[in-house]
Each structure stands twice: as structure tokens, then as C-alpha cells.
Structure 1
């Protein structure tokens, strides 16, 4: 190790290993007793939130719409993932985190994708 590496203001312990993070998330989900489709949905959502840095409640509307656009093919082709998507969206609405207009937009995105295919 040369002097520049020693003096650098970086700590290798702070590095984020995405593979390790996914494995850790999977282990946590095992404890919740979710079905495989629910685990897949939660993993998709957590990955999206971390990647796009969804930090506050005010980000939820654009984030859920973008999440729907990004994964719409998977939601259309898997009935169980679609149900997980709907239930999560309804829960976000119940907690006041999602606007009704965002819900309508998300449904329209899936409807448009179905009609194209």
C-alpha cells in the first residue's frame, strides 16, 4: 500500500455491495413468511427505492409511477405479482402516501401495455 492510499479519505468498509444487500434483504423476508411472489415484489421495490434514492413521502407518487413503468411487463405477465402491486398501491393510498391520480395513472400504464401486446 502506498502513501496515497493510506492518506485517502475513503473507507472500504463503507462500500456498498449490491449482491450482499440483496442476500440480506432476502434473509429478512424469510422471517416475514411471505410467498415467493411477495418476496419478489418486495425485492423489486426495495431495489428500485435504493437505486433511485426515494427518501421522503413526497417522492412516493413519481416513484410508484416510475416503478410501474419500469416493471409493467412483469406485472402484466404474472397475476400474483400484479396482485402484490395492487395491494401495495392500496396500502400506500391508505397511509396517505399515494394520490388517487397516481393510482389511475399507474392502472393506465398497465392497461396500455396490455393493449399493445
Structure 2
């Protein structure tokens, strides 16, 4: 996931750092997304997409650990 963010060329270094920090935070605080949804700051489709990305990252990390 970190490599994917680093591949963006139209994003500043500060924006990439913010994205890295946000992704790290969300991975550790999955229930935070529910709070955002409860307050109308996140829709169900976006929440589902985030969960799919997080699951994929978790699966890739576990596959890497097995090698």
C-alpha cells in the first residue's frame, strides 16, 4: 500500500505523508469509520470500499509474512 501511494506523481510529498498517516490510523481504528458514518461524514459505499482495501492490504501482509 505504501508503494502504491508513493507511485502518485501528481501529489505533493506532504499529501503523501498525510495519506500514509491516515491509512495507518484507519487500519488501527476501524470503528472510527462507523463514527464518521453515524455523523453523516462517510457514506456506506465509501465505507465498503475502504474495508475492501484494508482487507486486501491485510491479506497481502499475511501472504508476505508466510514467505
Instruction: Give the TM-score, by structure 2 length.
Output: 0.49
Select the structure of larger CA radius of gyration: 1
Task: Indicate the structure whose relative CO is greater, using CA pairs within 8 Å and at least 6 residues apart.
Answer: 1
